[in-house]
């Protein structure tokens, strides 16, 4: 009885996997089309991130042949970007500052 249950479960699992895989888009089709999120990420990188962090990149990559990437380089880029593009719209800083005990 236990062997029959295992066989039945395995059969159902294999059938469901093959059914799901037959409806997935081909890799060539997905490479041709960019999604909404990818388009916005690409434009953000080109318009905001790269121009802002260019000085940090020049600091770390003085030699053209050096292609290694360090975590410190990314942290430095993030610090520079956050200083030049402060985002307080989504923050609750003003609301917290107005609270009686916590706020100012």
E-strand spans in 28-83? Answer: none
> How far does Cα 59 stand from its chain's mean position?
25
Q: Is 91 within the bounds of a domain?
A: yes
Q: Is 24 within the bounds of a domain?
A: no
Determine the pLDDT at residue 28: 61
Asked whether the beta carbons of 81 and 53 are under 8 A apart, the reply is: yes
Q: Is 8 within the bounds of a domain?
A: no
Q: Is 20 within the bounds of a domain?
A: no
What is the residue range of 94's domain? Answer: 37-104
Asked whether the beta carbons of 84 and 52 are under 8 A apart, the reply is: yes
Asked whether the beta carbons of 73 and 56 are under 8 A apart, the reply is: yes
For the chain, give the mean pLDDT.
Answer: 78
Q: Is 87 within the bounds of a domain?
A: yes
Q: Is 100 within the bounds of a domain?
A: yes
Asked whether the predicted pLDDT for residue 31 surpasses 70, the reply is no
Q: In the numeric block, which tokens belong to residue 95? A: 């609301």
3-state secondary structure of 91: coil
Q: Is 79 within the bounds of a domain?
A: yes
pLDDT band of 59, cuts 50, 70, 90 = confident
Number of domains in the chain: 1
Q: Is 23 within the bounds of a domain?
A: no
């Amino acid at each position: 009885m236990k062997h029959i249950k295992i066989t039945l479960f395995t059969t159902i699992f294999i059938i469901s996997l093959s059914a799901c895989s037959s409806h997935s888009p081909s890799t060539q089709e997905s490479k041709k089309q960019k999604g909404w999120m990818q388009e916005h990420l690409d434009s953000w990188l080109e318009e905001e991130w790269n121009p802002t962090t260019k000085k940090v990149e020049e600091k770390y990559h003085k030699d053209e042949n050096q292609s290694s990437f360090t975590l410190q380089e990314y942290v430095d880029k993030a610090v520079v970007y956050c200083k030049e593009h402060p985002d307080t719209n989504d923050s609750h800083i003003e609301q917290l500052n107005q609270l009686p005990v916590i706020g100012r």
